[in-house]
């Protein structure tokens, strides 16, 4: 089966096609996840995956991605990739060609380029419009001059656009509404029980440059173990990565919980500590039984509809 977050049918269809290419072996779930997610990166699924969406405070897009093999437990991940568009393929190269797990920033770009990926701009006209929007709001465009009180500007001390302050104006707070989420996270399982999971996103909008989200963190946005199953999640990455929800879910199933119970456990664990957060959780056991749930004001409206796409034998592509 192939299951992924949101109504990204094109990605799901391509992954399902690749999973059913008759060649067998562990390569099949890997190529399904990488190929499926690559489609989303190319077509900029909901502008939240791939280049040209959700710029940081400086107006630049950066990408996070991860690939995990549930058989070998190997992971390749990238964070804050700024000049290469195919983030999931770079993550695959980290997995297959290095002894490392996560590469970030300039080093990740340079590694990818040395592996043959072309440098390309990740920005778009949308980014530029979005940047104009925030500079109007926060008084001037030079990020670095805003960092400390600067007598050359009237801006005063730097204040991040995205703040935790509950009294801040709504426009200053991080909002994961319908137009500020949609990371793709995906799991593929073949008939022999091989599992791969993957993620790709351009993250949340207006974050500080250098921010890496949950999509790069193994155990947070994705985790797989052929012996048990897999989980993929997305939402407010700065909260989620503190709880490693995908790892939690897989370990809950290992301890005997059903996918539905594991989903509930993840949400309740975070709720114990955090009042408001947004998450979409997909949990699937190694035999393909699954549960999906969205939590939080921005996400919950997707429950049951558009929250996920699944293809499985006899049931190609269904939300």
Q: In this complex, which beta carbon is closest to ligand SD4, that of residue 17 or of residue 269? A: 269
11 part of the interface to ligand SD4, by CB under 6 A? no
Distances (CA, A) of 259 to 8, 244, 247: 22, 16, 13
Instruction: Give how far Cα 223 sits from Cα of 66, 143, 185, 313, Å.
Output: 10, 35, 10, 23
- Applying CB under 6 A, which part among 115-123, 143-151, 180-188, 245-253 lies near ligand SD4? 180-188
Which of 53, 76, 198, 213 touches ligand SD4 by CB under 6 A? 213
Whether 29 is catalytic is: no
Site string for ligand SD4, 48-77 (x = CB under 6 A): x-----------------------------
Q: Would you say 212 is a known binding-site residue?
A: yes
**HEC sequence for 201-266:** ECCCCCCCCCCCCHHHCECCCEEEECCCEEEEEEECHHHHCCCCHHHHHHHHHHCCCCHHHHHHHH
Residue from 5, 29, 61, 183 carrying the catalytic annotation: 183
64 is in an annotated binding site: no
Count of positions on this chain that bind ligand SD4 (CB under 6 A): 14
Q: How far is the CB of 257 from ligand SD4 (least distance, A)?
A: 24
- The answer to whether residue 234 forms part of the interface with ligand SD4 (CB under 6 A) is yes
Q: How far is the CB of 310 from ligand SD4 (least distance, A)?
A: 18
Instruction: Report the distance separating Cα 68 and Cα 33, nearest Å.
Output: 10
**Residue 234 is labelled as binding a ligand:** yes
143: which residues sit within 8 A by CB, 6+ positions away? 57, 58, 209
* Integer Cα distance of 309 and 259 in angstroms: 16
The answer to whether 84 touches 116, Cβ cutoff 8 Å, is: no
**Binding site as annotated, residues:** 211-214, 234-237
**Binding site as annotated, residues for substrate:** 211-214, 234-237
The residue ranges that bind ligand SD4 (CB under 6 A) are: 48, 176, 181-183, 201, 203-204, 213-215, 234-235, 237
């Amino acid at each position: 089966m192939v299951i992924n977050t949101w109504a990204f049918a094109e990605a799901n269809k391509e992954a399902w096609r690749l999973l059913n290419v008759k060649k067998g072996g562990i390569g099949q779930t890997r190529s399904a996840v990488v190929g499926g997610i690559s489609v989303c990166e190319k077509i900029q699924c909901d502008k939240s995956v791939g280049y040209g969406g959700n710029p940081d405070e400086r107006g630049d897009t950066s990408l996070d991605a991860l690939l995990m093999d549930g058989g070998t437990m190997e992971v390749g991940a990238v964070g804050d990739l700024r000049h290469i568009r195919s983030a999931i393929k770079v993550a695959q190269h980290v997995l297959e060609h290095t002894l490392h797990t996560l590469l970030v920033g300039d080093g990740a770009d340079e590694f990818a380029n040395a592996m043959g990926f072309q440098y390309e701009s990740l920005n778009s006209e949308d980014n530029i419009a979005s940047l104009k929007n925030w500079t109007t709001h926060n008084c001037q465009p030079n990020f670095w001059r805003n960092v400390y009180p600067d007598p050359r500007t009237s801006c005063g001390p730097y204040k991040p656009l995205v703040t935790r302050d509950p009294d801040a104006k709504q426009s200053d707070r991080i909002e994961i509404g319908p137009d500020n989420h949609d990371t793709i996270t995906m799991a593929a399982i073949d008939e022999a029980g091989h599992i791969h999971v993957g993620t790709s996103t351009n993250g949340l909008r207006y974050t500080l440059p250098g921010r890496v989200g949950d999509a790069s963190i193994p155990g947070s946005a994705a985790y797989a173990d052929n012996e048990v199953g897999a989980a993929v999640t997305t939402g407010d990455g700065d909260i989620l990565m503190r709880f490693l929800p995908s790892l939690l879910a897989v370990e809950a199933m290992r301890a005997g919980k059903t996918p539905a119970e594991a989903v509930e456990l993840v949400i309740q664990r975070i709720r114990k500590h955090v009042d408001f957060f947004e998450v979409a959780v997909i949990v699937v056991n190694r035999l393909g039984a699954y549960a999906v749930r969205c939590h939080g004001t921005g996400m919950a409206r997707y429950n049951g509809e558009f929250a996920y796409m699944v293809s499985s034998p006899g049931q190609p592509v269904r939300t």
